[in-house]
Structure 1
Amino acid sequence: MVSTGERIAIDAMGGDHAPDEIVAGALRAQEELGVKVLLVGEPEKIKAALPSNTNLGQVEIVSATDTIEMDEEPLSAVRRKRSASINVVMDLVKKGKADAAISAGHSGAAMAAALLRLGRLPGIDRPAIGAVFPTMIASKPVLILDVGANVDCRPKFLEQFAVMGSVYSQYVLGTAEPKVGLLNIGEEDCKGNDLAIRTHQMLTSNSQISFLGNAEGRDVLSGRFDVIVCDGFVGNVLLKFAEAVGEIILQILREELPSGLHGQIGTALLKPNLKRIKQRMDHAEHGGALLLGVNGICVISHGSSEAPSIFNAIRMAKEAVDNQVLERIHPQVSSLASE
């Protein structure tokens, strides 16, 4: 496939399976998606992870001499280790040498590096991590944000999340008029804690979004909403729970398929259906979550990401670049900054 011009910088040293799986997913994306991948990390380790038949002239490796470990405090580590792979990745985006950044490493470090090197978009007080979930309606995903960037939030932050999420849902996920919901313990306007009640009032009066009202836990995957906002504490619990449920259901399907010849025949007949089920439920199919609100395209992948997940993270980044997410969000949020 001929390159379409997007240059994606990838933290090749980040994640449980780095650099082997990171490199494998990146090379597949370069071949199938037509992007140019920049593998950032220790050159010798990256070269060792390349297939033996790789043409080194078609692989771009950017040296980074350090790595931020999972047990390190993110902000101090990012400041102390200036040549860490995640810092180099963000610098490439800042200098215009890459169109997007991807990391499966320390998510806190990725966010800290993005904030310190790229900065926030004007009008955004706090960036949010947006994760795409499947719903009961095929081809109608729901975007949840924030799922971990901000443990404590103010109503203004959630309003900004709603606007950014609506833009992403419309231009990347293809939703004509995204319906926004506020995650809460009841549908009534008066339900919830002080944050929920005050946020509900702000979202109701915001003409930039189509606010449908409160979304209870059972509504999250119903397909009724296209965007659901919440603070990062609740969102992260929701994300991890949903991932676990998806894995359990896939495991149950594997265990309950009959064995023997009849089982093999039945499985063969069901293979297309099972593949579609996996695509809708497996978090690896989404690749990660977009960090919305920073002045650059950043995808934070799962620490356990393997090659397919990295491939899909690159696809997500490419779609965000192609659909000019930053350029579309900027005019929408410029007037939303806290006073």
Structure 2
Amino acid sequence: MKIAVDAMGGDNAPQAIVEGVMLAKKEFSDIEFLLYGKEAEIRKYITDEKNITIIHTDEKINSDDEPVKAIRRKKQASMVLAAQAVKSGEADAIFSAGNTGALLAAGLFIVGRIKGIERPGLMSTMPVIGQEGAFDMLDLGANAENKAEHLLQYGILGSFYAQNVRNISKPRVALLNNGTEDTKGSEVTKKAFELLSNEPAIHFVGNVEARELLNGVADVVVTDGFTGNAVLKSIEGTAMNIMSLLKQAILGAGVKGKLGALLLKDALSGLKDEMDYAKYGGAVLFGLKAPVVKTHGSTGPEAVATTIRQIHTMLATDVVGKLVQQFEEKVSE
């Protein structure tokens, strides 16, 4: 399998990206990596050239570039060339830590959506607290507005991913709403509730409130892109602030606090790891003809390697190929 990597995308590129690729290479001998970017800079961090091909380009998409304009005007940008490689069949998937909007645009306009899917959704796997497990949530910002029919498709997409990639035989699908009652929500969520309830392809468990998301109440949570992105940022911010408050409390408690922190070091480290959703990989723009995966711009080598592991699973299970077949059959009915 071949993965096209935007080696110049992200705050710590190309070092973090290439070092992450090197870590993943030790685990997966069946992946060939196509690294797009400035060859001289990329080579500084390559320790083993086996299964590595560098495609040189001086152009890249910056974090402050307007996404659609950048994709259309910067034809030789590392992200654009990587997406083109997927479209042409030279690569099976694309990975980037760069401009999120630009990657979404590249996925839609270059890689292309699956026939029958109106709005691909941006999906991440999120942790649950105090127990084993996680949940997939979409849309996390690929679309600012959605119709009820889009939310139905997100339920089908998320359930399909959970079954094939996370090996959950009967994923519980929930709709994010401002109450658990059937009658709660806007006109869009009320209609989406009805559509999801009557969809035989999924196991719909009803509405879920935002405060219950991390309690393991569902395996897949669907919402519109605006709300999903706001919830994601709220979870990220809360996690960071909790860790910051703990650190301040320990430092402000003097010698006793520091001694207590030493005794609780393993527990605090476990808490930090439990709240870290990067351990599940990157965000997938699901509903496209190939895996298009984005990780955080400030990501480090370990998170890059984890995301590559996620892509390897997606390719090994042929989740996109199966999805294409399922939706093509629906369209032809």
Q: TM-score, normalised by structure 2?
A: 0.91
Identity %: 35
Deviation at 1:227, TM superposition (A): 0.5
Is 1:8 equivalent to 2:10 in the alignment?
no
- The SS at the match of 2:215 is coil
Is 1:294 equivalent to 2:268 in the alignment?
no
Which structure 1 residue ranges, 5 or more long, are not aligned?
1-5
Structure 1 pair 251/266, CA: closer, same or farther in 2 (3 Å)? Answer: closer
Rounded to whole Å, the distance in 1 between the matches of 2:257 and 2:94 is 47
Structure 1 pair 321/262, CA: closer, same or farther in 2 (3 Å)? Answer: same
Do the aligned partners of 2:129 and 2:274 also contact (CA within 8 Å) in 1?
A: no
Rounded to whole Å, the distance in 1 between the matches of 2:26 and 2:245 is 34
What's 2:197 paired with?
204
Do the aligned partners of 1:133 and 1:142 also contact (CA within 8 Å) in 2?
A: yes
- The SS at the match of 2:173 is strand
Structure 1 pair 220/333, CA: closer, same or farther in 2 (3 Å)? Answer: farther
The count of aligned residue pairs is 329
Rounded to whole Å, the distance in 2 between the matches of 1:227 and 1:127 is 15
Do the aligned partners of 1:247 and 1:282 also contact (CA within 8 Å) in 2?
A: no
Structure 1 pair 275/335, CA: closer, same or farther in 2 (3 Å)? Answer: farther
Structure 1 pair 336/73, CA: closer, same or farther in 2 (3 Å)? Answer: farther
Deviation at 1:33, TM superposition (A): 3.4
- The SS at the match of 2:84 is helix
- The SS at the match of 1:245 is helix
Deviation at 1:138, TM superposition (A): 2.6
Counterpart AA for 2:135? V
Is 1:154 equivalent to 2:147 in the alignment?
yes
What's 1:277 paired with?
271
- The SS at the match of 1:133 is strand
Q: Relative to structure 2, which stretch is displaced further, 20-29 or 280-289?
A: 280-289
Deviation at 1:97, TM superposition (A): 2.3
Counterpart AA for 1:16? D
What's 1:29 paired with?
24
Do the aligned partners of 2:177 and 2:184 also contact (CA within 8 Å) in 1?
A: yes
What's 2:223 paired with?
230
- The SS at the match of 2:150 is helix
Rounded to whole Å, the distance in 1 between the matches of 2:210 and 2:112 is 33
Rounded to whole Å, the distance in 2 between the matches of 1:71 and 1:270 is 39
What's 2:100 paired with?
107
Deviation at 1:196, TM superposition (A): 0.4
What's 1:71 paired with?
64
- The SS at the match of 1:138 is coil
Rounded to whole Å, the distance in 2 between the matches of 1:90 and 1:59 is 17
What's 1:17 paired with?
12
Rounded to whole Å, the distance in 1 between the matches of 2:85 and 2:36 is 10
Deviation at 1:141, TM superposition (A): 0.3
Rounded to whole Å, the distance in 2 between the matches of 1:266 and 1:80 is 52
- The SS at the match of 1:166 is helix
- The SS at the match of 1:295 is coil
Deviation at 1:279, TM superposition (A): 2.9
Counterpart AA for 1:318? H
- The SS at the match of 1:17 is coil
What's 1:117 paired with?
110
What's 1:319 paired with?
313
5 Å-filtered alignment, 1:68-217, equals 68-136=61-129, 138-217=131-210
Rounded to whole Å, the distance in 2 between the matches of 1:335 and 1:286 is 31
Deviation at 1:264, TM superposition (A): 6.7
Q: 1:308 aligns with which of 299, 302, 312?
A: 302
Is 1:39 equivalent to 2:35 in the alignment?
yes
Counterpart AA for 1:294? L
Rounded to whole Å, the distance in 1 between the matches of 2:147 and 2:330 is 13
Structure 1 pair 264/205, CA: closer, same or farther in 2 (3 Å)? Answer: same
- The SS at the match of 2:214 is coil
Deviation at 1:87, TM superposition (A): 1.2
Rounded to whole Å, the distance in 1 between the matches of 2:5 and 2:138 is 23
Counterpart AA for 1:17? N
Structure 1 pair 276/154, CA: closer, same or farther in 2 (3 Å)? Answer: same
Counterpart AA for 1:219? E
Deviation at 1:261, TM superposition (A): 10
Do the aligned partners of 1:160 and 1:333 also contact (CA within 8 Å) in 2?
A: no
Deviation at 1:118, TM superposition (A): 1.5
Do the aligned partners of 2:129 and 2:275 also contact (CA within 8 Å) in 1?
A: no
What's 1:3 paired with?
none
Q: TM-score, normalised by structure 1?
A: 0.89
Structure 1 pair 245/262, CA: closer, same or farther in 2 (3 Å)? Answer: closer
Counterpart AA for 1:19? P
Which structure 2 residue ranges, 5 or more long, are not aligned?
none
Rounded to whole Å, the distance in 2 between the matches of 1:183 and 1:56 is 46
Rounded to whole Å, the distance in 2 between the matches of 1:183 and 1:265 is 39
- The SS at the match of 1:220 is helix
